[in-house]
Amino acid sequence: MPSKSPVVIDLKFDQQEVAAALKGAFGDREVINLAHPASRTRDLAGIDYAVVWRPGQDLFARARNLKVVFSGGAGVDHVLTLPGLPDVPLVRFVDQTLTTRMSEWVVLQCLSHLRQVKAYDAQARRRVWKELPQPEAKELTVGIMGLGVLGQDAARKLKVMGFEVIGWSRGVKAVEGIETYDAAGLDAFLARTDMLVGLLPLTPETTGIFNGALFAKLSRKGPFGAPVFINGGRGGSQVERDIVAALEGGTLAGASLDVFEQEPLPLESPLWTHDRVIVTPHAAAASDVKALFRQVERQVADYEAGRPLEHVVDRRAGY
């Protein structure tokens, strides 16, 4: 039996988690973890598979005969721009653990703004005992932009909490129990949206889409008078100076941001300390490394058996 091709790992994750996840992973297939100094000069020309997240700029020049590239996360925009990316299948990480974590974050942010967590926290710091008006979830419409696996799961869970939920995607999508809009219906979608959730991939069409002009089209009919913006998708889809201006000018009532134009978020950014902004450090849906390796191992076995790969990226669409 011919020997199995090794797998090269180039993941900018916590290396203790990676090491723990690699124990028992990939069976008798050799694994080359480029986080180890001894691997940095290793000849990678005969490697068929790579698992990457923010890999080294020279990876594809070194591993020049790859057959499949696996992304360590749901997003692949950073991989698509890497020099020397070979013309082979690029596979996104889609897993229930990642989906669940993102939905938890989205629901948490919607509830935090509904229940005015930031305002109560500010009152507590001043030792002010004052009950604020309390609308119900059913009084607000959450509009989700991005109806992939993550967006659809978040929509279902928000409906359980009582929110009215609508969705938007570039193309027509039918989602059971959710009214949806396509590109032509964007303005109508925005006009109904009290809480806007961004779960879009980053493509040329979505770069900077969350800007002042878009925020101005959101609903002003909700119980807080101005809408809320929540982004767990990609930082490049938002214009942060417009977010700050919208908050200061009353176009937005609040925001929750997990992704940013530059990461880590620069220390001088006003978003850090804004009294109506919740900041998390790109942690809404961290990849479960053990689940990632299980999926890669299964997909490699399928590929070598002649079965089709799942979650292959459409490079023209960017996701």
Which helix (DSSP H) or strand (DSSP E) does residue 186 occupy? helix 186-192
Give the length of the chain: 319
> Could you tell me what percentage of the chain is helix, strand and coil, using 3-state DSSP and rounding each to the nearest 5?
35, 15, 50
Find out whether 198 and 237 touch, Cβ atoms under 8 Å: yes
Q: Which of 29, 78, 282, 294 is catalytic?
A: 282
How far is Cα 248 from Cα 269, in angstroms, rounded to an integer?
A: 14
Read out DSSP for 274-316?
A: -TTEEE--S-TT---HHHHHHHHHHHHHHHHTTPPPSSB--TT
User: Which of 54, 102, 128 has its CA nearest to residue 286?
Assistant: 102
Find out whether 31 and 293 touch, Cβ atoms under 8 Å: no
Annotated active-site residue 78? The verdict is no
Buried b (16+ CB within 10 A) or exposed e, 93-108: bbbeebbebbbebbbb
Place of tokens 């590109």: 183
Annotated active-site residue 234? The verdict is yes
How far is Cα 76 from Cα 91, in angstroms, rounded to an integer?
A: 9
Q: Which of 101, 234, 274, 311 is catalytic?
A: 234
If DSSP codes are grouped into helix, strand and coil, which group holds residue 252? coil
Place of tokens 């940095």: 40
Active site amino acids? 234, 282
